[in-house]
Amino acid sequence: DAARAQGANVQASEADLAGARLSAQGSLAQAYFAVRELDAEIALMDEIITGYERSAKITQNRYDAGIAARTDTLQAQSTLDNARASRIALQRSRALSEHAIALLIGETPAGFTLPAATWIDRVPAAPAGVPSELLLRRPDVASAERGVSAANARIGVARAAYFPQFSLTGSIGAAGSHLGDLISAPSLLWSLGLSLAQYVFDGGARTAAVDQAIATHEGATASYRQTALSAIKEVEDQLTTLQTLAEQQERTRASA
């Protein structure tokens, strides 16, 4: 049981490591998609700024020709300046996301650049009816499950402490002695009596150890259940989000 508990602890640690690695990979993916999203927004803002520059120039020409008010040119220039300020804010956000990528891959932000690229709006579709057993592949769920297994094995270890272990050495009897001689040996009787007294009169320590192991197992089971429920919720949330965003995209295209 002790070996099984230790093995389960090792597997739980491996799952924790996999979870940390997956979390870092997820953060990297989020930062990358944030950069690509900002690339698309910056490209769109460049088109908007080009349109505002053209509009401001036309308004200025109309003012110079005496057919537009001065307020029209000021309004056109203000709109253009606001668009340029928005582009600077987008560029700052892109730089921060780029710095996050550099940190996650072990590079210095000053020495890392990610060239701009076009936005790819194709997202792999999640298959319908995904079995819940796939959640066991999640590192956090696997770690919690291994924690339950380790706690269960430790109950057996605690219960095994009720049974004393004795070793017969050369100090008790010579090699080749008969079993009857060993049992009748005074030194063995004294040794067994002392050991049994230590195991029987322990002040309830072993009972408390078993109760503690059972409580630990119950806590690990509750934690495992909560982790599994949280994993199910996260999956359901993402599936619902994908579905609603797809419907929203269709409605937006239809209204365009």
For residue 203, name the pLDDT band (cuts at 50, 70, 90): low
pLDDT at 126 over 70: no
Q: Which residue has the higher pLDDT, 162 or 103?
A: 103
What pLDDT sits at residue 51?
95
Q: Which residue has the higher pLDDT, 92 or 235?
A: 92
What pLDDT sits at residue 161?
55
pLDDT at 52 over 90: yes
pLDDT at 54 over 80: yes
pLDDT at 195 over 70: no
pLDDT for 3-32, tens place per residue? 776 776 777 777 777 778 878 888 898 899
pLDDT for 157-192, tens place per residue? 565 555 554 444 444 444 444 444 444 444 444 444
Q: How far is CA 139 from CA 13, 31, 147, 224, in A?
A: 10, 22, 12, 12
For residue 256, name the pLDDT band (cuts at 50, 70, 90): low
What pLDDT sits at residue 205?
63
pLDDT for 32-49, tens place per residue? 989 999 999 999 999 999
From the list 95, 93, 88, the residue with the least C-alpha distance to 49 is 88
What pLDDT sits at residue 95?
93
**Mean model confidence pLDDT for the chain:** 76
For residue 127, name the pLDDT band (cuts at 50, 70, 90): low
State what percent of residues in the chain have pLDDT above 70.
70
